[in-house]
Amino acid sequence: MVILFDQFNMPEDVFEIVFATEQQVIVARMLVEEMKRIGGEMGKTEMSMFATALHEGTTITMSAEPTLPVKALPTKKEVKLSYNKRQFYDRILTPMKTMGLIDYDLYKKTYKVSDKFSKNMMKIGLMWSQERARPPRDLQFKKK
């Protein structure tokens, strides 16, 4: 998966950087929140039940950020959400596994929230620092 971002307009939420659509952001956030709620780990059965609940449609309550003065209380709004089960696995869970946001244990058959994503981002930053420090290579351009 390729992550493209604008350093001058960086969103505050990591999910908005990783996922392309607002619906994907909501579903990914719901998944991580559900995993954190039950101890950071979820079995295959629980994951399937989560995906089925999304497929059948659910109503979620979201807090809307106040646009008025800071003292205004955030308002709650109910949003109906339905997400295809196959698309959940293809567009949400699989990319989260490949990027290291979620780890899958083959032996225990469980998914858990992982820190591999942040470690990989640090590794990429280190690779870029090393590339900048490297002397220029002698490249020859040939005319056709």
Query: Containing domain of residue 35, as a range?
Result: 14-63+75-133
Q: Is the pTM of this model over 0.85?
A: no
What tens digit of pLDDT does each residue of 100-138 get? 999 999 999 999 999 999 999 999 999 999 999 999 888
38: CATH: 1.10.10
Q: Would you give the DSSP letter of residue 82?
A: -
Q: Reduce the DSSP state of residue 79 to 3 states and report it.
A: strand
Q: Where do the DSSP E strands lie in the chain?
A: 41-43, 58-64, 75-81, 102-105, 110-113
Is residue 6 situated within a structural domain? no
CA distance 125 to 102: 21
Predicted confidence at residue 66, as pLDDT, reads 46
The encoded tokens of residue 16 equal 């908005």
Predicted confidence at residue 125, as pLDDT, reads 95
Q: Report the domain count for the chain.
A: 1
Q: Reduce the DSSP state of residue 112 to 3 states and report it.
A: strand
For residues 25 and 13, is the Cβ–Cβ distance under 8 A?
A: yes
- State which residues of the chain have pLDDT below 50: 66-69
Predicted confidence at residue 57, as pLDDT, reads 87
Is residue 31 situated within a structural domain? yes
Q: Which residue has the tokens 């058959």?
A: 109
Query: Rounded to a whole number, what is the largest CA-CA distance in the chain?
Result: 67
Amino acid, res. 101: L
